[in-house]
Amino acid sequence: MSIIFLLVGILLSIGLQFTESTNLHFTCSDHISQVSVTFSTIGVCYGVLGNNLPSKQEVVDLYKSKGIGKMRIYYPDQEVLQALRGSNIELILGVTKETLSSLTDAGEATNWVQKYVTPYAQDVKIKYITVGNEIKPNDNEAQYIATAMQNIQNAISSANLQGQIKVSTAIDMTLIGNSYPPNAGVFTDQANSYIQPIINFLVKNGAPLLANVYPYFAYIGNKQSISLDYVLFKQQGNNEVGYNNIFDAMLDSVYAALEKVGGSNVKIVVSESGWPSKGGDSASIDNAATYYSNLINHIKNGTPKRPGAAIETYLFAMFDENQKTGATTEQHYGLFNPDKSPKYHVAQSGIELDTTRNITVILNMK
């Protein structure tokens, strides 16, 4: 399938289609430029911390109708797994924080796989299992991660699914002690003993490291040194260390850290990245739309440390979630409102982002 975007400065929205093969042609009214893109790397995270969200079947149907071919869920919701049967949507399946300690028992790990993986593996495209999400080295659960990963791997192998499913964990950027310049990236001293057995496991099993990468947080935490253009992929020209956006710099700092602990060949999957549309500093519809659209167009290129290799990336998130705790922005990352209406704009053939910048999009599906 392909998308042809015609931007004419009259109506509303920026359009983006998440498909197995996407070609984007941009034509702007005040200047002409064209970019062709082919990738199969975009997914959307499906969080459920809301009391007003659609049914699980409706959500899966929405993914299918909008051509979103990858989904991340944070626990093994059997209603979602059932709805995904035959959908051809690739899935990141999460293990809950509360389950981690039990999975250090090999028998419990086998039971978990037999309950949540094996019955669905023939017609649900489970691609990754994430054993823990953003577990910090000083969290009590940190002691369980490496053993739980190995036990899940053993159970996957016993089910003869090791060629289909990779086991990993998802980290955040707090594990990186020095991220600038990116080549100096290194895991913190505290993280080293935690991350080393995980990296050894990933190397042995040919699995990627999942990383949640949020330029938004880097920006609001250091606005005096980081420009908004650098964060929104709008900077013209490279900085003194060869980067024109912070997303690449953050990702390459993780690659540099991996190289220092024997993980030079470990691929990174960006398991979350997003921008809030309201609720806090620099959180707006316009900034969110710009970030999502430019991110999607950018990831085909890889990073300076890994050029030419498209970055598998999962946007956060499908819906606003009104029961998320923490900062107000946490409730406003959705591409869609809970009633399934687009927060930005959704055409029949894909997700369009931005209701404020006087741009229109014509989509062609092939």
For the record, the structure tokens of 150 come out as: 């190995």
CATH code where residue 147 lies = 3.20.20.80
Give me the pLDDT at residue 41, please. Answer: 77
Residues of the chain with pLDDT under 50: 1-17, 19-39, 346-351, 353-366
For the record, the structure tokens of 59 come out as: 């959500």
Query: Is 205 a member of any domain?
Result: yes
Give me the pLDDT at residue 345, please. Answer: 59
Query: Is 192 a member of any domain?
Result: yes
The catalytic residue positions are 134, 272
What's the domain range around 328?
A: 38-214+246-336
Shortest CA distance to 87 belongs to which of 117, 67, 73, 113?
Answer: 67
What's the pTM value of the predicted model, to 2 decimals?
Answer: 0.87
Query: Is 235 a member of any domain?
Result: no
For the record, the structure tokens of 171 come out as: 């980290």
Residues found in the chain: 366
In whole angstroms, what is the distance from residue 328 CA to residue 325 CA? 8
Residue 18: helix, strand or coil by DSSP? coil
% of the chain at pLDDT higher than 70: 83
Q: Is 309 exposed, middle or buried (0-12, 13-18, 19+ CB in 10 A)?
A: middle
Give me the pLDDT at residue 123, please. Answer: 98
Query: Is 302 a member of any domain?
Result: yes
What's the structural domain count of the chain? 1
Give me the pLDDT at residue 288, please. Answer: 96
Residues 6 or more apart whose Cβ sits within 8 Å of residue 163 = none
In whole angstroms, what is the distance from residue 342 CA to residue 352 CA? 8
Query: Is 153 a member of any domain?
Result: yes
Query: Is 6 a member of any domain?
Result: no
DSSP string computed for 79-125? HHHHHHTTS--EEEEEEPGGGGGGGGSHHHHHHHHHHHTTTTTTTSE
Over the stretch 290-309, which tens digit does the pLDDT of each residue have? 999 999 999 999 999 999 99
Over the stretch 241-270, which tens digit does the pLDDT of each residue have? 999 999 999 999 999 999 999 999 999 999
Query: Is 76 a member of any domain?
Result: yes
Query: Is 364 a member of any domain?
Result: no
